[in-house]
Structure 1
Amino acid sequence: METTVNTHLSTVITPQELLNHWQGHRGLTRRVIEAFPEDDFFNYSIGGMRTFAEMVMELLGIAGPGIKEIATAETAQLLENVEHGNKKTKILELWDKATEDINTYWAQIKLEQFHETIKSFGQYEGTVWSSIFYFIDNEIHHRGQAYVYLRALNIEPPFFYER
């Protein structure tokens, strides 16, 4: 027997629950940033990977601008370098600003938009929901790399499940 599900009538997760899930990840990533000694945050790497600061700049270039682009339909430029003066406090300020931007623009996304096809940053095609999942998955991926760095530096990272 074949079962057909009308995706427009069934809901597994609400937009607010998805936002809460993402913000839980963002809070955890913020704690990972805080766990790094400042010099190691900007300079430490293993096996040719980027520093965690470089990875975080990528995350900053994607999250807030990506959600703003979804909400406003104005193509954003993908910028992965931000002025930080080698100060972790500046990166954390930018992280907190991006968190506020996500909350602000998220509220402007209509439920029916989640299944629309878009081109994030004018080049990456997918649905709104798949783009958001990419934003989240990319953050988790880079946070995993940061956990390896922290362990190599003999620093206990925050528990990954405490979101």
Structure 2
Amino acid sequence: MQINNIESFLEYYSKIKNRTRKLFDYVPPEHIEWTYQEGKFSIGDIIRHLATIERYMYAETVQYKPSLYNGCGTTYAKGYDEVIMFYNTLNKESMDIFSKLKIEDLNNKCKTPGGIDITIWKWLRAMVEHEVHHRGQLYLYLSILKVKTPPIFGLTSEEVILNSE
């Protein structure tokens, strides 16, 4: 899928972000820093990572600037409410930056932190894939904690089977 229009992309991306954001409502506040294994991202780390990578890597590089990503630890935000507010604040900053992209920008190349030149629309597409990847991690973490989460598109796998011929 090629991105030809920043407005339609941002509308689509907002829907992706909202599905991730909905999942935050199911995170037990006392488990915001829970992780399945020491040294791995906690739930809060994942949420902070989504915020910081979007704002400080993707939003910087599409402006032809170097990445400013510097991790996702509790120094950015600590505690459930602060983590969610941090995520929302950085997402708004990122969306403001992305909304200024012109069609010619989408077809220009920016430099990734790995030193690779990539077409900006492809870089934005990678950002969506990155978001979805970490949303999947959040679903898994919550499953391990035995938190019942809603199906992402309305039906569970079992309900789709029941409704199929």
1:80 aligns with 2:58: no
- Superposed counterparts of 1:20-99, under 5 Å: 20-45=11-36, 49-82=40-73, 83-84=75-76, 86-99=78-91
How many pairs does the alignment contain?
152
Aligned-residue CA RMSD in angstroms? 2.6
- Superposed counterparts of 1:117-128, under 5 Å: 117-121=109-113, 123-128=115-120
Q: Residues 93, 67 of structure 1: CA spacing in aligned structure 2 closer, same or farther, 3 A cutoff?
A: same
**Which residue does 1:160 correspond to in 2?**
152
Structure 2: how far apart are the matches of 1:93 and 1:134? 24
- Do 1:78 and 1:121's aligned partners in 2 also have CA atoms closer than 8 Å? no
Deviation at residue 142 of structure 1 after TM alignment:
1.0
Q: Residues 148, 66 of structure 1: CA spacing in aligned structure 2 closer, same or farther, 3 A cutoff?
A: same
Deviation at residue 122 of structure 1 after TM alignment:
6.5
Deviations 1:20-77 (A, max 9, x none): 1111111121221221112322113269752222222221121123453245322231
Could you say what secondary structure the match of 2:11 adopts? helix
117, 124, 130: which is aligned to 1:132?
Answer: 124
Q: Which amino acid in 1 is paired with 2:15?
A: G
**Which residue does 1:6 correspond to in 2?**
none
Note the residue ranges of structure 1 that are not aligned, 5 or more in a row: 1-10
- Do 1:70 and 1:109's aligned partners in 2 also have CA atoms closer than 8 Å? no
Structure 1 vs Structure 2: percent identity of aligned residues? 16
With structure 2 as the length reference, what TM-score do the two structures score? 0.77
Structure 2: how far apart are the matches of 1:48 and 1:23? 31
Could you say what secondary structure the match of 1:126 adopts? strand
Q: Which amino acid in 2 is paired with 1:110?
A: K
- Do 2:110 and 2:120's aligned partners in 1 also have CA atoms closer than 8 Å? yes
Could you say what secondary structure the match of 1:80 adopts? coil
Deviation at residue 124 of structure 1 after TM alignment:
4.7
Note the residue ranges of structure 2 that are not aligned, 5 or more in a row: 155-165
